[in-house]
């Protein structure tokens, strides 16, 4: 009797939580959609970058956060996506819109080629291999003819005024980011997601209990690579010029990991919190620092790295499970290693 009541009460709170969650999400999406036409140009650009990094971080999180495989290779898939769009568009006259899914597919194929051998390694070895692969692809792209070598590729520009241009990319990244967040949410509440966490926590028992661990990790990598490839393609059209040093910069890989870590690994909310926290803080501090006399008019590009480093140290000291770890603790759930 009492347990029936208890169960009913629990079902009602669950239902209510979903309702409020849904309403909150709808409100946030609506707000972001309106912001695109309200805020000044440089903030449109900043938010586009935020959306792009959330997209990348959600993609990274599937393998890196849920399954606990530290992947420093996201920039490889991002770069492959950018270059696929660039090459197809400028050398094969493929319609720009069509190059975007093709970029995702190409990044997935590359992930399959590097991932299948790499995912047989565990722990530090996997992380190091992803670093090596990143360097190798950068070298490869710098030396190939089809990619334009070190001089890069000039992308065709959209036939609009600069402001409309920025808004188009704002909405493109916003839409894709929402899809990525939704995907992460679905994964987190599925058996696939539980099995990924099981791999992170104790891989041998997971396999013994029937989880095809290598295949699951590969799937997680491929999903992330597809998202990164698509992000890379849109980035390429956005910046209008791609070259190996910037597009394959290891900074991108590292930033994605840091932002996910700060937000909270293995939660769909982690990137949504961590990315804006870091990018907006860096942006605000950059503006403030511009006022200081000793920087003059030029703030060195390393400025962001210093800010990210300080945020990382603060998070490591104050919130070892990221911001989401704090949120869960407030909700009364204990997290243990």
Partner 1 sequence: MEPVLQVDSLSKRFGSIVALERVSFALEAGTILGLIGPNGSGKTTLLNTLNGLYRPDSGEIRYLGRPTRNLRPHQLALLGISRTFQNARVFHTLTVSQNMLVPLVHARVHGAEAQERARQLLTFVGLERYQALPASELSGGQQKLLEFARALMTEPRLVLMDEPFGGVHPEIKALLLERIREAQQERQVSFIIVSHEIPDLLSLARTIICMSYGRIIARGSPQEVSEHPDVIAAYLGHAGGQAQTSPSSSVSSSSYFEQAGGHPS
Residues at the contact surface with partner 1, assessed by CB under 8 A: 191-192, 194-195, 197-198, 201-202, 204-213, 216, 266, 333-337
Shortest distance in whole angstroms from residue 40 CB to partner 1: 42
Question: What CA–CA distance (Å, rounded) separates 248 from 146?
Answer: 16
Query: Whose Cβ is closer to partner 1: residue 23's or residue 209's?
Result: 209
Q: What share of the chain is helix, strand, coil (3-state, %, to 5)?
A: 80, 0, 20
- DSSP per position, 44-113: HHHHHHHHHHHHHHHHHHIIIIIS------HHHHHHHHHHHHHHHHHHS---HHHHHHHHHHHHHHHHHH
**Residue 205 vs residues 124, 126, 169, 202: alpha-carbon distances, Å:** 20, 20, 45, 6
CB 235 within 8 A of CB 292: no
Coil, strand or helix: which one is 120?
Answer: coil
Shortest distance in whole angstroms from residue 186 CB to partner 1: 12
Query: Whose Cβ is closer to partner 1: residue 89's or residue 196's?
Result: 196
Shortest distance in whole angstroms from residue 320 CB to partner 1: 13
Shortest distance in whole angstroms from residue 188 CB to partner 1: 10
Query: Whose Cβ is closer to partner 1: residue 202's or residue 251's?
Result: 202
Shortest distance in whole angstroms from residue 329 CB to partner 1: 12
Query: Whose Cβ is closer to partner 1: residue 203's or residue 243's?
Result: 203
Shortest distance in whole angstroms from residue 106 CB to partner 1: 28
- Closest by Cα among 185, 212, 182, 208 to 196: 212
Query: Whose Cβ is closer to partner 1: residue 61's or residue 99's?
Result: 61
Q: Can you list the alpha helix ranges (DSSP code H) found in 189-301?
A: 191-201, 203-208, 213-239, 244-247, 250-263, 269-291
- Closest by Cα among 205, 183, 187 to 196: 187
Query: Whose Cβ is closer to partner 1: residue 140's or residue 335's?
Result: 335
């Amino acid at each position: 009797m009492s347990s029936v009541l208890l169960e009913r009460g629990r079902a009602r709170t669950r239902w209510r939580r979903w309702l409020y969650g849904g309403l909150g999400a709808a409100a946030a999406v609506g707000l972001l959609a309106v912001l695109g036409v309200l805020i000044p140009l440089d903030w449109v650009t900043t938010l586009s970058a935020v959306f792009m990094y959330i997209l990348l971080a959600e993609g990274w999180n599937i393998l890196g956060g849920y399954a606990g495989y530290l992947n420093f290779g996201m920039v490889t898939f991002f770069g492959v996506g950018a270059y696929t769009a660039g090459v197809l568009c400028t050398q094969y006259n493929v319609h720009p819109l069509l190059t975007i899914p093709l970029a995702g597919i190409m990044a997935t194929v590359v992930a399959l080629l590097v991932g299948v051998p790499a995912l047989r390694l565990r722990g530090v070895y996997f992380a190091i291999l992803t670093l090596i692969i990143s360097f190798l692809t950068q070298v490869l792209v710098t030396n190939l003819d089809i990619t334009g070598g070190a001089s890069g590729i000039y992308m065709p520009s959209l036939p609009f005024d600069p402001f409309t241009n920025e808004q188009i990319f704002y909405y493109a990244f916003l839409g894709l980011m929402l899809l990525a967040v939704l995907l992460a949410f679905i994964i987190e509440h599925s058996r696939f997601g539980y099995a990924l966490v099981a791999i992170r926590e104790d891989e041998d028992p997971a396999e013994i209990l029937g989880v095809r661990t290598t295949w699951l990790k590969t799937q997680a990598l491929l999903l992330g690579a597809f998202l990164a490839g698509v992000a890379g393609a849109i980035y390429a059209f956005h910046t209008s010029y791609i070259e190996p040093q910037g597009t394959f910069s290891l900074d991108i890989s590292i930033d994605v990991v840091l932002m996910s870590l700060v937000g909270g690994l293995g939660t769909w909310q982690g990137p949504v919190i961590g990315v804006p926290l870091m990018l907006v803080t860096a942006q605000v501090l950059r503006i403030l620092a511009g006022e200081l006399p000793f920087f003059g008019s030029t703030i060195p590009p390393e400025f962001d790295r210093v800010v990210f480093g300080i945020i990382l140290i603060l998070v490591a000291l104050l919130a070892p499970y990221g911001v989401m770890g704090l949120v869960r603790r407030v909700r009364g759930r204990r997290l243990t290693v």
